[in-house]
Chains A and B, each alone.
Chain A
Amino acid sequence: QSALTQPASVSGSPGQSITISCTGTSSDVAAYDYVSWYQHHPGKAPKLIIFDVSKRPSGVSDRVSGYKSADTAFLTISGLQADDEADYYCNSYTVSSTSPYVLGPGTKVTVL
């Protein structure tokens, strides 16, 4: 069981915007600004698209943005395109004596 929760699926039409939530706890999302997001096309390597809540790595489209409020982080994709159809995972640093990172269960984005 993930300590983070995400909606199982989100859909939108081309050109629209979608937002995916990632709700954590006082031990992870609420405590640290170390949330990252990954895009995963099945059969391919996951790709980092947001780090430290809202920063974009070099080469990632500015259609992608992130923010956080209290214990919930959000990923927004604007101007939805066919290639945005993928699974999206949030990841947070967490206070833990063992594994220091926790992944969300993933959200399937469908472009209608």
Chain B
Amino acid sequence: EVQLVQSGAEVKKSGESLRISCQGSGFRFNKYWIGWARQSPGKGLEWMGIIHDSDIRYKSSFQGHVTISADSSTSTSYLQWTSVKPSDTAMYYCARKEWYGELQYAFDLWGQGTMVTVSS
């Protein structure tokens, strides 16, 4: 089955480090970009960044606050923080788009989301 499976919900205290994951299956991972989006409570979706191999593009407001990475050997992308804050409380989604092809400019498959809760 073609899918993106995200890691489970996380509850953290302010200042702790965190890494969440997004594993692809049923497709050639290195033929796709993986994007990460945040949905803060009561808010809409917002792109954080996108990665393909070693090419990583961050939305400017997230640059320096999170790190996006990927391991093609395990078809997994990661989103990590060195020090989370209460404002990082949100649902995080990963999504894929073709590196090249008909769906080169749209995200055709999304993960189920990972809820991150950060307390002070």
Return the chain A residue nearest B3 by Cβ: A45
Q: Which of B13-21, B40-48, B72-80 contacts A (4 or more CB under 8 A)?
A: B40-48
Q: Indicate if the CB atoms of B106 and A45 lie closer than 8 Å.
A: no
Looking at A45, A51, A104, which has the most chain B CB atoms within 10 Å of its CB? A45
Q: Indicate if the CB atoms of B44 and A101 lie closer than 8 Å.
A: no
* Chain A neighbourhood of B47, CB < 8 A: 99, 101-103
Asked if B110 lies at the interface with its beta carbon under 8 angstroms from chain A, I say yes
Can you give 19 contacting A-B residue pairs, CB < 8 Å?
A: A34-B106, A38-B45, A43-B113, A45-B93, A46-B107, A48-B109, A51-B103, A51-B106, A52-B105, A52-B106, A89-B45, A93-B105, A99-B47, A99-B49, A99-B50, A99-B57, A101-B50, A103-B45, A104-B44
